[in-house]
Chains A and B, each alone.
Chain A
Amino acid sequence: MGALFAAATLQGPKIDWFGISPLLVLLGGAMVLLVVGALTPAWPKRMYALYTAGVAVAAGVMHVLLWHRIDDKGTATLVSDALSLDKTGVWLGLTICVAVFLVAFLTDDYLRREGLDGLELYVLYMLSALGGLVMVAANDLVVLFLGLEILSIALYVMAASHRKRIKSQESGLKYFVLGGFSSAFFLYGIALVYGGAGSTNFTKIVAEFDTTIQNTGNDALVLAGIALLLVGLAFKVAAVPFHFWSPDVYEGAPTPVTAFMASAGKAAAFGAMLRVLEALPQWSADYRPIVWTLGVLTLVGGAVMAVVQRNVKRMLAFSSISHAGFILVGVEAAVHFDGANLDSDGVSSVLVYLLVYAVLVMGTFGVVTAVGRTGDAATGLDGFRGLAKQKPMLALGMTVLLLAQAGVPLTSGFVAKFGVITAAVEVRSYAIAIIAMVSAVIAAFLYLRIMISMWIAEPEAGDDAREPVRVPLLLGVAIALSVSFTLVVGFFPDVLLTIAP
């Protein structure tokens, strides 16, 4: 009787249900689809996609409400310090929801075209996004790791989900093996930081520094831990020299999944990187040069290696690497600490970049999905030849998106680049700013090649025999949304900049 009484008084953590509502929405949405979908006959055309988009919108709305709550009541930590509720996390969470919304539209017709109908991919999108949300809100290394694994495991399965293409399975396996490897690095890093600082909780690590480490002067364990954490995160964001998986995986994975990896995956991983680095302000002088070097290698490596590719999906993989380099420029600016806080211009430039890039890359891969044709294999440059004649609007949209990726003014891509360069210049990181801009020129060559193929290249024999490119409704809507966002932000950057934290 006494034991029972004791159990009843055991206090669980106080849970702020509203604070974690986006997580609950996505989890609930995934579970409902899984259970109901399993019990009912196949839903009518487009319903799975619309359902997923609806869940993403609901989660997005919860994010907006949380945003207002932060405006009113300030930031907070949730579930006994496991998660933190602040604008950075909410913004990135919203970015991930946007990615889920768009990717659902990309996937709908793709699955029908490839004969892969089913709801598994949608469930995985939602679960993977759930992991992403945990990562960007984590306030504890272990929680962050849980988020990372939820995100990654879903991604491994998604990458291999095209059952009829051997390349898809190869990419899933490759991603799984290398991803597991990087998770191990990350986990070992957590262990070392725990050993050195006595806690995995970000708040407590900072406190520990002031009480113990500063007195003993012994921080070798923490430093080693930071190095391993950075390796794990650099792998996730595909920073050079930890990028080797990304071209193969991007090429092999079903195109919509590639889009999801490049947008939501990147946003989550960079969110996690900001969280980890923010928790270790005392060591910023030690890890800032690492971030700088990673940034430069990623910028130059991504751009240079992109030039020699022939496959558009591989090209975009390298371009995505080079974009990661740009984001690292912003991260480098952010880790010029202002007291115990990250440099706010740096952080907000990273956040804007991630949102802009997520939408951009969705639109771009949306076009690639259409051009890939049945079998998802016509993603070589040849597949784009003559697109301007066949589908002028699609070619025009793709041109806008590519110019935005190249950073041409009056597009969102320029606004994003301008933001990170400004942040870098403000903390006087001139060298990396110039390297970034010059590598953007090299990367521009790759976008020009796709444009040449669409607009200028002479038709060749057999072109007419190819399967015509189709743009189904939802895919068209997704591309149109993405292009409009690109232009609106390009012309009126204030719509984004005034609300960025």
Chain B
Amino acid sequence: MTEFPILTMLVLVPAIGSLLVAAISKRQPDLVKIIALLTSVLTGAMALWVLFAFKSEDADFQFVSNHSWIDQWGISWHLGVDGISLFLVVLTGVLFPLVIAGVDPHHDHKRYLSWMLMLEAGVMGSFISLDLFLFFVFFEIVLVPMYFLIGGWGYDNRVYAATKFFLFTMVGSAFMLVGIIATAVLAKAGENGAVTFDLIKIAENADFASSTGRWLFFAFAIAFAVKVPLFPLHTWLPDAHTQAPTGGSVILAGVLLKMGTYGLLRFGVYLFPEAAVWARPLFLTLATIGIIWGAIAATMQTDLKRLVAYSSVAHLGFIVLGTFALTTTAITGSVFQNVAHGLSTGALFLMVGMIYERRHTREIAKLKGLQKVAPVFAGVFMVIMLASIGVPGLNGFVGEFMVLIGSFATARWWVVVAAMGVILAALYMLWAYQRVFHGEPDDDNKTFAELKWKEGVLLLPFVALIVFSGVFPKPILNRIQPSVDKLIEHVEANSDWQQPQPADPVVVEPEAHDATEEGEG
């Protein structure tokens, strides 16, 4: 293979960085930080290079690298990126250096950074692996660094939260592992009926009986539903978020949860289209309950971080709703929303972390009038919060709007209920903002420090990306959509599902894009 194995490097560079950091002496804290930063920046740069070299009209997997790994079981090191995973890779590449540079863990930097980089390698790997076994390896290995990050650098109740996180996710994985093995063994999709774990071979060649496919689908779906998390499996999330250190929370919300929504698309819908169509009502219902439940629960929270955590449950409900609406617009919106939510919620967690650094509390009741003493801080918080609510012009709007529009034709009544979630989001977010930032600051809050320039630099990329992708989402959507189209075609070919042809003029933009694509083809 003459081509530079860029995807392999995306995994290897942070992994090697992690080992290097672990190997360096504790007495050289600066060297540790420099190496950690360099490797994560290098990974980020490579992710951006992938973004720019990505052929936007190509719906297939690109930069594919395929080497045999465990011959005996038909397992290969098979990596590739398409429109669905591209922006998750980029998001991962961008978030990690920001978190590593901008968030101070306060103690044991060396171990913290080492775990962080290993986490990055794991997350990257899960987004680009095209082999079921390989995916499972990365999906599962992510638990270990995250467990140690929450347990080692979190807040008071961290051991409980870390253990809960580990065990919840592992229960899901237990089912998925059996599902993966059963899929490979039953499909025997390799050459001459050999067992293979290759995602594409199984998805294109295997022909499961519909009842078998449904069982297998559920084995996978449980793992992803825990990870997303989907109601009622979400209870680990508020604990993990609240107790995790700021850096951990940002990564958890920004990319880790996306492994669930991404998995549902890639290993649920793509691998078992018939079962996914069959299970639609269940997932749409759970997603809608999650949207409403997350919003109501967020309204009730007294802890700012917990509030953001519950808002995540609601936002991810939208992503799942769009996924199982099974229309081009809805799924494209979902994939976009993955990134949008990663940016806005990641930034919210950063700012909540900054508030905690200053005041050593996250209790909403103890914060008051911050706008008076720190207007810039309040302004930035406002922008990010509005993006999270989904105000037009910011990226949250694009994703949620496309999900709702796209789902309307195929999941009408669910959309009607889910749309109320948007209103509730405005309610809990604005109410929280009002309590924290408005009014006259009392004595405790009078000394609240204004945004420091270092914090500003850290938040700038977030705000810039939020605004940019909110105002001009087209380049992103153009890259997502061909792969989504292909996915829908795959579903239509392998089940009795037919995507209703949209007559709605609102969806003009994707149509126009289709036209240009046809013109080129």
B144 and A408: CB pair below 8 A? yes
B174 and A440: CB pair below 8 A? yes
B170 and A455: CB pair below 8 A? no
A430 and B159: CB pair below 8 A? no
A74 vs B341: C-alpha distance in the bound complex, in angstroms? 63
A410 and B141: CB pair below 8 A? yes
CB closest chain-A residue, reference B152: A456
Expressed in whole angstroms, the minimum distance between the Cβ of B134 and any Cβ of chain A is 9
Expressed in whole angstroms, the minimum distance between the Cβ of B223 and any Cβ of chain A is 11
A409 and B136: CB pair below 8 A? yes
Of the candidates B72, B159, B178, B185, the one whose C-beta lies within 8 Å of that of A437 is B178
User: With A422-B73, A441-B170, A494-B71 given, is the CB distance from A455 to B175 under 8 Å?
Assistant: no
A430 and B182: CB pair below 8 A? yes
A425-457: CB near B (< 8 Å → 1, else 0) gives 110001001100110110011001000100110
B167 and A452: CB pair below 8 A? no
B185 and A425: CB pair below 8 A? yes
- Is chain A's binding surface mostly helix, strand, loop or mixed? helix
A421 vs B151: C-alpha distance in the bound complex, in angstroms? 31
A437 and B177: CB pair below 8 A? yes
B141 and A493: CB pair below 8 A? no
A452 and B151: CB pair below 8 A? yes
A438 vs B223: C-alpha distance in the bound complex, in angstroms? 12
Expressed in whole angstroms, the minimum distance between the Cβ of A306 and any Cβ of chain B is 14
A337 is an interface residue with CB less than 8 A from chain B = no
Please indicate the chain B residues that have their CB under 8 angstroms from the CB of A142 in the complex: none
B174 and A434: CB pair below 8 A? yes
B181 and A421: CB pair below 8 A? yes
Of the candidates A426, A441, A448, A498, the one whose C-beta lies within 8 Å of that of B71 is A498
Expressed in whole angstroms, the minimum distance between the Cβ of B114 and any Cβ of chain A is 11
Q: In A291-341, which residues have CB < 8 Å from any B CB? A: none
B141 and A408: CB pair below 8 A? yes
Please indicate the chain A residues that have their CB under 8 angstroms from the CB of B175 in the complex: 434, 437-438
Interface size counted on chain A using CB atoms at 8 A = 28
B166 and A425: CB pair below 8 A? no
Of the candidates A408, A433, A455, A494, the one whose C-beta lies within 8 Å of that of B72 is A494
Of the candidates A414, A440, A448, the one whose C-beta lies within 8 Å of that of B147 is A448
Please indicate the chain A residues that have their CB under 8 angstroms from the CB of B178 in the complex: 421, 425, 430, 433-434, 437
Please indicate the chain A residues that have their CB under 8 angstroms from the CB of B419 in the complex: none
A440 vs B170: C-alpha distance in the bound complex, in angstroms? 9
B174 and A445: CB pair below 8 A? no
A448 vs B71: C-alpha distance in the bound complex, in angstroms? 32
Q: In B409-453, which residues have CB < 8 Å from any A CB? A: none
Expressed in whole angstroms, the minimum distance between the Cβ of B142 and any Cβ of chain A is 10
A34 is an interface residue with CB less than 8 A from chain B = no
Of the candidates B70, B136, B148, B181, the one whose C-beta lies within 8 Å of that of A493 is B70
Expressed in whole angstroms, the minimum distance between the Cβ of A249 and any Cβ of chain B is 29
A494 and B181: CB pair below 8 A? no
B171 is an interface residue with CB less than 8 A from chain A = yes
Q: In B118-175, which residues have CB < 8 Å from any A CB? A: 136-138, 140-141, 143-144, 147-148, 151-152, 158-159, 163, 166-167, 170-171, 174-175
B143 and A408: CB pair below 8 A? yes
A355 is an interface residue with CB less than 8 A from chain B = no
Q: In A453-501, which residues have CB < 8 Å from any B CB? A: 455-456, 492-494, 497-498
A342-362: CB near B (< 8 Å → 1, else 0) gives 000000000000000000000
Please indicate the chain A residues that have their CB under 8 angstroms from the CB of B148 in the complex: 455
Of the candidates B158, B171, B181, the one whose C-beta lies within 8 Å of that of A422 is B181
A408 vs B72: C-alpha distance in the bound complex, in angstroms? 20
A493 vs B138: C-alpha distance in the bound complex, in angstroms? 16
Of the candidates A414, A425, A445, the one whose C-beta lies within 8 Å of that of B167 is A445
A441 and B181: CB pair below 8 A? no
A438 vs B178: C-alpha distance in the bound complex, in angstroms? 10
Please indicate the chain B residues that have their CB under 8 angstroms from the CB of A456 in the complex: 151-152, 158-159
User: With A425-B182, A437-B175, A441-B174 given, is the CB distance from A409 to B166 under 8 Å?
Assistant: no
A444 and B167: CB pair below 8 A? yes
B141 and A498: CB pair below 8 A? no
A141 vs B453: C-alpha distance in the bound complex, in angstroms? 80
Please indicate the chain B residues that have their CB under 8 angstroms from the CB of A444 in the complex: 166-167, 170
A425 and B151: CB pair below 8 A? no
A194 is an interface residue with CB less than 8 A from chain B = no
Please indicate the chain A residues that have their CB under 8 angstroms from the CB of B140 in the complex: 408-409
A240 is an interface residue with CB less than 8 A from chain B = no
A497 and B182: CB pair below 8 A? no
A226 vs B270: C-alpha distance in the bound complex, in angstroms? 49
User: With A444-B170, A445-B167 given, is the CB distance from A425 to B181 under 8 Å?
Assistant: yes
A421 vs B219: C-alpha distance in the bound complex, in angstroms? 14
Q: In B71-86, which residues have CB < 8 Å from any A CB? A: 71-73
Q: In B164-212, which residues have CB < 8 Å from any A CB? A: 166-167, 170-171, 174-175, 177-178, 181-182, 185
Given contacts A444-B166, A444-B170, 19 further A-B contacts (CB under 8 A): A409-B136, A409-B137, A409-B140, A410-B137, A410-B141, A421-B178, A421-B181, A425-B178, A433-B181, A434-B174, A437-B178, A440-B174, A441-B170, A448-B147, A452-B159, A455-B151, A456-B151, A456-B152, A493-B73
Question: Considering the complex of A and B, which 9 residue pairs feature the smallest CB-CB distances, nearest first?
Answer: A437-B174, A409-B137, A497-B72, A441-B170, A425-B181, A456-B151, A433-B178, A409-B140, A425-B182
Q: List 29 A-B contacts (CB under 8 A).
A: A408-B140, A408-B143, A408-B144, A410-B137, A414-B137, A418-B177, A421-B181, A425-B182, A433-B178, A433-B181, A434-B175, A434-B178, A437-B174, A437-B175, A437-B177, A440-B174, A441-B171, A448-B163, A448-B167, A452-B151, A452-B163, A455-B148, A455-B151, A456-B152, A492-B70, A493-B72, A494-B70, A494-B72, A497-B72
Q: A: which residues have CB within 8 A of B?
A: 403, 408-410, 414, 418, 421-422, 425-426, 430, 433-434, 437-438, 440-441, 444-445, 448, 452, 455-456, 492-494, 497-498
